[in-house]
Structure 1
């Protein structure tokens, strides 16, 4: 019976250690990374910038965003009205915003609109 208790304790300890290690993987900290840091880990600076240098007008970077994430017109109802008016970095500042951080309508619009009111139209 003692062997069973020791086995269960050992198994619980191993399971707990494995769970803790899994929880400490980089994916668990993705929200603590800027968008730029996340993209660097997944392809380097040149995954967004030509020759690892920012373009003067941001057009190259916007093309890179669309090559992975799709065009604004192909995205949800919040993104579609911005197609042709904005580039991704206008709202999703890659060197300032963290992964998963979503800009709000109020960041640019002061007329009381929210994502919910936009999607109800």
Structure 2
């Protein structure tokens, strides 16, 4: 089976599970959720160990979630400037938790203001 097909199937499975409230425990960490998808630490890390620069993990994020340039208004301006793990602390955050703009920006930006929600 091709890598693209496997990635598409994995992404579709992830999306279906993410839409189901029963798919994860209320306090499940993001890394645990991804590992439970069937690959353990290797789901995100080459040989199960973090890379020194985070590039491999960033590529893994994009293989399922797509590139930042194709995402919403919050993600697009960060394309080429940040990697996913710069904002998303998957070993610390629980599923559904979102990083805040204030973590880097002190000018009053919020995702709600940017996205109009």
Q: Which TM-score applies when normalising by structure 1?
A: 0.73
Regions of 4+ moved over 3 Å: none
Match of residue 32, structure 2, among 20, 34, 37: 37
Number of corresponding residues: 95
Residue 56 of structure 1: SS of its match in structure 2?
Answer: coil
Root-mean-square deviation over aligned CA pairs = 1.6
Q: Secondary structure at the match of 1:101?
A: coil
Is the Cα–Cα contact under 8 Å of residues 29 and 91 in structure 2 kept in the other structure?
Answer: yes
Structure of higher CA gyration radius = 1
For structure 1, the 5+ residue unaligned runs are 1-24
Q: Distance in 2 between matches of 1:52 and 1:28?
A: 22
- 1:1-121 counterparts in 2 under 5 A? 27=23, 29=25, 31-42=26-37, 43-119=39-115
State TM-score, norm by structure 2. Answer: 0.75
